[in-house]
Amino acid sequence: MRRLTVPKLRARKQDGVTAEPLVVLTAYTARQAQLLDEHCDLLLVGDSLGQVIYGLPSTVPVTLEMMANHAAAVVRGSYHAVVAVDMPFGSYEGSPQQAFESAAWLMKQSGAAAVKLEGGEVMAETVAFLVQRGIPVIGHVGLTPQAVNVLGGYGARGRTDAEADKIVGDAKALDKAGAFAIVVEGVVEPIAVAVTQAVACPTIGIGASAQCDGQVLVTEDMLGLFERVPRFVKRYENLAETISAAAGHYAKEVRERSFPGPEQTYGSE
């Protein structure tokens, strides 16, 4: 099976109608990618790996090298979904040229087919610069975690009229600049509707209601690996409990010397 392509994903939305929603999950490792690949249209190597994998306090410290290494693993582990990689804070905001160098390097290092970057109108020129030079771009509006130090937290956006207008304007600018999809994060439902209606490209919601053209979640959140998750996360599993129970079982057997048993011991057949 040939891998899905960016134009195929973009074409899911035709004249404002998306018959088949885009299914997106984050992936950071090869094995995770293998398991998610057949179910997803797009695997996003999110800079959320800063918190999820590295235990960092935010996505701000994440580097291009970290993103490239994890994206390469995800590309190696998948053959069906489009793989997109987040551009980390500080790697693209300075100028379109800086963004191009960072994005091209990420794609060369990893084999990812697209990049995602945060910001609206202010990044539109950069998005157009990249797209015109062969780099497919996903935009990201609403709650933009890399701006946590300006926003002061991770609360839902678009609760005032001014904020709502700004988010719709941001999405329109990215759409016009050639973004092939736009992540809409942490906004109240009417904004998700307004943004989705305002842009030609598909919107991918996270904490942005069922009204977007697709959905994304952080896989570890969805699998129940964390105690504290935002309200918009639905837990489809409780892997924290499963892993802890398995580790506890192993520890007990090692301590009472019942593991390894004969089945796991060479020469005891």
List residues with catalytic annotation: 185
For the stretch 77-90, what's the b/e string if a residue is b when 16 or more beta carbons lie within 10 angstroms of its beta carbon? bbebbbbbbbbbbe
Task: Tell me: is residue 189 an annotated ligand-binding position.
Answer: no
Nearer to Na ion, 62 or 195 (CB): 62
Q: Of these, 37, 47, 175, 220, which contacts Na ion (CB under 5 A)?
A: 47
40 forms part of the interface with ligand KIV (CB under 6 A): no
Determine the straight-line distance between the first and last CA of the chain, rounded to whole angstroms.
43
Contact segment (CB under 6 A) with ligand KIV among 44-52, 97-105, 120-128, 173-181 equals: 44-52
Q: Residues 223, 48, 185, 72: is their CA dihedral positive or negative? A: negative
220 forms part of the interface with Na ion (CB under 5 A): no
- The amino acid that residue 93 corresponds to is E
> To the nearest whole angstrom, how small is the minimum distance from the Cβ of residue 255 to ligand KIV?
38
Nearer to Na ion, 41 or 47 (CB): 47
Place of tokens 């990420």: 106
Q: What six digits make up the tokens of 106? A: 């990420």
Task: Tell me: is residue 15 an annotated ligand-binding position.
Answer: no
Q: Of these, 46, 120, 136, 202, which contacts ligand KIV (CB under 6 A)?
A: 46
Task: Tell me: is residue 48 an annotated ligand-binding position.
Answer: yes
47 forms part of the interface with ligand KIV (CB under 6 A): yes
- With vertex at residue 212, the alpha carbon angle to CA 207 and CA 218, rounded to the nearest 5 degrees, is 40
Q: Which of residues 7-26 bind ligand KIV (CB under 6 A)?
A: 26
Q: Which of residues 48-107 bind Na ion (CB under 5 A)?
A: 86
Separation CA 120–CA 126 (nearest Å): 10
> To the nearest whole angstrom, how small is the minimum distance from the Cβ of residue 185 to ligand KIV?
6
Beta bridge partners of 43: 25, 83
Q: What six digits make up the tokens of 124? A: 């539109």
213 forms part of the interface with ligand KIV (CB under 6 A): no
- With vertex at residue 179, the alpha carbon angle to CA 173 and CA 183, rounded to the nearest 5 degrees, is 90
Separation CA 51–CA 126 (nearest Å): 27
42 forms part of the interface with ligand KIV (CB under 6 A): no
Task: Tell me: is residue 118 an annotated ligand-binding position.
Answer: yes
Task: Give the binding site for ligand KIV (CB under 6 A).
Answer: 26, 44, 46-48, 86, 183, 185, 206, 216, 218
Binding residue ranges for Mg(2+): 47, 86, 118
